[in-house]
Amino acid sequence: MAILVVGSVALDEVETPFGGRKDALGGAAVYFGLAASYFTSVQLVGVVGEDFAQEHLDLLAARGMDLGGLVTAPGKTFRWGGRYGYDFNARDTLYTDLNVFADFDPTIPAAFRQTPYVFLANIDPTLQLRVLDQVASPEVVGLDTMNYWIERTPEKLKRVLERIQILLINDSEARELAGEPNLHKAALAILEAGPRLLVVKKGEHGALAFARDLLFAVPGLPMENVVDPTGAGDAFAGGFLGYLAASGDLSTEGLRRATIYGSVLGSFCCEAYSVDRLVDLSRGEIEERFETFRELTRFEASRTAGTQ
């Protein structure tokens, strides 16, 4: 089944202690869409400015993405800059220039309105509600948000949460959303607010999936080669929902596998600047890393009878 993503398409600037990139292709919808494109067909709704290079559009189209909902508006593309220190789990936002994104009012093309899987990337909850008003009762709606919206538009966000099935956020967002420092208690409170499944991403420390009948933990993959973690959360969401859309398997086993595929795509994303690692993966590499996660967490009970 196809998946519709609505969110930012950006030109990013990233600085790390080891190097950086300017004018790099980024944006939540881009990272999500590229990751999901390894599993299913992706329809993208977003906005770019007149400065957005054709080569970026070609790259997205080459991954089979349907760009029928990507509008080019007069002005400049959304630009975001971030700086990492030695700890890649922490980053400073250097600037957020909304440019054409400031007036983004997503119009879902008629051809995308019946799409059964929808991902609302991190945008104003008012716009997320407008998207939901335009689509015909999708089977699964996934959602991302951030502290900015949790603090500024809690009522709107509450209304969005009532209309989605899967929430994918990071641990600090989960705590803030629930107003509860204990992550497990926070997760249970969030499940009361609407979503059937909550996936809490914890950067290099992995992810947790919570549902009424599911508690699943994935470790972070110990990686020697972390270059740029920008977009890893969106790539995680793309792998997660892409797998679900392709398999249609919403059983607890399917959700566990989706959490691993999310971790796989998130980990690949970190291995190069911008989207570089997400454009030429092979299905074999993805499956191999899936197996790496399996091996990482595999253990067997002792054959001897218990401890003394």
Binding site for ligand AMP (CB under 6 A): 8, 10, 12, 26-28, 80, 96, 122, 230-234
Q: Which residue is nearest to ligand AMP (CB)?
A: 26
Cβ-based nearer residue to ligand AMP, 66 or 173: 173
Distances (CA, A) of 108 to 67, 113, 127: 11, 6, 12
Query: What letter would DSSP give residue 10?
Result: E
Give yes or no for a contact between 279 and 63, defined as CB atoms under 8 angstroms apart.
yes
Least gap, CB of 167 to ligand AMP (angstroms): 15
- Report the nearest approach of ligand AMP to the CB of residue 308 (Å): 48
Minimal distance, residue 147 CB to ligand AMP, in Å? 10
Q: Cite the beta strand spans of 29-144 per DSSP E.
A: 42-48, 66-72, 78-84, 91-97, 117-120, 140-143
Cα gap 204→66, rounded to integer Å: 31
> Which of 1, 98 has the CB closer to ligand AMP?
98
Based on CB atoms, which residue is closest to ligand AMP, 115 or 230?
230
- Which residue do the tokens 């899967």 mark? 166
Q: Which is nearer to ligand AMP, 80 or 210 (CB)?
A: 80
> Shortest gap between Cβ of 253 and ligand AMP (angstroms)?
27
**CB of 2 closer than 8 Å to CB of 117:** yes
Tell me whether residue 206 or residue 231 sits nearer to ligand AMP (CB atom).
231
